[in-house]
Structure 1
């Protein structure tokens, strides 16, 4: 069955502070909003829409990986021992299992994501 994602309003998303185990906020409280649009029956693949207010957070993909397509905003991802990379609307990025580093959301972002285990 084909599932079409329609544009979502902010009111369609669940808001909460970013917290472990997803990521560790480094710059104080960061509000994120999200909605899961798809999950398979054993939850090895999950996808949806995620938004974040500006802030700095540490991400460690130890048990899962993530592929994102940035729909709006600006963020800088800096893998440990790597170079910072700026992502802007239209950019896509892949965070394989084992990726560790810091995300700096410069302007509010909205992304489509696929998490896999």
Structure 2
């Protein structure tokens, strides 16, 4: 098994359809499609691609860390007690363990992600 993994961002086929958890839904009913492409360390590190439909949800990372690169679309993130920041295609950011805030998808987002659980 190679230790170098390419994350494909196009021609992904059918992904796994998800809905935002009801207790985190603020506005709309954003559809979520996820294409998990790699997992390691017993599933503690996951990478892949996700499409996020328009809507607003509460984002709570707990002990997880998520690294995100936006391929397309527009999202606004507001950290609890902080200012709203806008992210567009080409932008990257990290939500560190303990992050709590609001994720608003303004235009459908396609993102590459890596989640490190229990970071």
Q: Fold match, TM over 0.5?
A: yes
Local SS of the residue matching 2:112: strand
* Conserved? CA contact 2:73–2:88, under 8 Å: yes
**Alpha-carbon separation, structure 1, partners of 2:97 and 2:7:** 26
Structure 1 residues 16-52: Cα deviation after superposition (integer angstroms, max 9, x where no partner) = 21226xx711113221000111110412211110111
Question: What 5-or-longer segments of structure 2 have no aligned partner?
Answer: none
**Alpha-carbon separation, structure 2, partners of 1:10 and 1:67:** 20
Cα distance change of structure 1 residues 7 and 59 upon mapping to structure 2, 3 Å threshold = closer
* Conserved? CA contact 2:75–2:104, under 8 Å: yes
TM-score normalised by the chain length of structure 1: 0.90
In the alignment, what sits opposite 1:93? 93
Residue 63 (structure 1) aligned with residue 63 (structure 2): yes
Matches within 5 A, 1:34-45: 34-45=34-45
* Conserved? CA contact 2:29–2:54, under 8 Å: no
In the alignment, what sits opposite 1:19? 21
Dislocated runs of 4+, deviation >6 Å: none
* Conserved? CA contact 2:63–2:98, under 8 Å: yes
**Alpha-carbon separation, structure 2, partners of 1:82 and 1:38:** 33
Alignment RMSD: 1.6
**Alpha-carbon separation, structure 2, partners of 1:98 and 1:55:** 22
TM-score normalised by the chain length of structure 2: 0.88
Question: What 5-or-longer segments of structure 1 have no aligned partner?
Answer: none
Matches within 5 A, 1:45-84: 45-84=45-84
Cα distance change of structure 1 residues 108 and 10 upon mapping to structure 2, 3 Å threshold = farther
In the alignment, what sits opposite 2:115? 115
Please report how far the alpha carbon of residue 5 of structure 1 lies from its aligned counterpart in structure 2 after TM superposition: 2.6
In the alignment, what sits opposite 1:7? 9
Please report how far the alpha carbon of residue 10 of structure 1 lies from its aligned counterpart in structure 2 after TM superposition: 6.3
